[in-house]
Amino acid sequence: MTTTPTIHLNDGNEIPAIGFGTFQIPSDGSTYKAVTEALKDGYRHIDTAVAYFNEAEVGQAVRDSGIPRDQIWITSKLWLQDFGYEPAKTAIDLSLKKLGVDYIDLYLIHQPYGDVPGAWRAMEEAQQAGKLKSIGVSNMTPKIWNSFVPDFTVKPAVNQVEFNPTFQQKAIRQLMAADDVKLEAWAPLGQGNQALLTDPVITKLAAKYGKDAGQVILRFENQLGVIVFPKSVHADRIKSNLDIFDFTLTPAEMTDLIGLDTGKGQHDPDAPGVEQMLAGYDVHAND
């Protein structure tokens, strides 16, 4: 089994370059099964969130794996309902309890609206206390970034955003580079976008390297320094998504793939929609 390469964060921590995403995997045993499979295949980075409602199954799978805790990177995220200083403090402790761990490797502001400064202050304190190793943000556009991040005492280690070859987030990456903030890609395969998976530039490279389209895309993102966590519940796909480190795209091939950028994604964090998000995810319904 190959050791997953790591990416150096601005706080000194090393994050596995590829992880396993658990968004929309239900907590009916499916998350436990998928995470167990991912860990068995060699993943050492699991991405969950309070609003995924599956932290408990992620934590159980990690504990049952027999792999030492310090060899598995766990990411979770603070939901909108818990923004603000005091609510965030309580929510961090609740995530630790649900996951059944003493610390979380990376904790993110999930959607950057409302009392982000209060939530961030609680996260900074939790980091100082050793409850959180790294802290970061997600879904931040240049506009949102400039509204909050300049006032943070601790700069984010990552910004987790939608990213794939057709949406390469050039503007926010420029801002992030100033503080060496790494980009994490959600939907790194375009959420099953068939136009992307069948693009001639990608299929030609897949044929050349004996890989599938998804592996070419993930390798491209990895070579850009992007942290990726593709999601699947299919054992063969979970395994193949990890198998991207035995080939290297040439500079010319990277340039061709960079040329696929349209600058447009499926999700616009600058558009209104906070009420719908809050209505759709009540993370305390069963507390």
CA distance 26 to 238: 16
Of the candidates 52, 85, 103, 209, the residue annotated as catalytic is 52
Give the number of other Cβ atoms within 10 Å of residue 74's Cβ: 24
Question: Which residues touch 210 (CB under 8 Å, ≥6 apart)?
Answer: none
C-beta of residue 141 within 8 angstroms of C-beta of residue 168: no
Q: Is 52 a catalytic residue?
A: yes
For 166-208, the DSSP string reads TB--HHHHHHHHTTTPEEEEESTTTTT-HHHHT-HHHHHHHHH
Longest dimension (CA), the chain: 54
CA distance 85 to 115: 8
Q: Which residues are catalytic?
A: 52
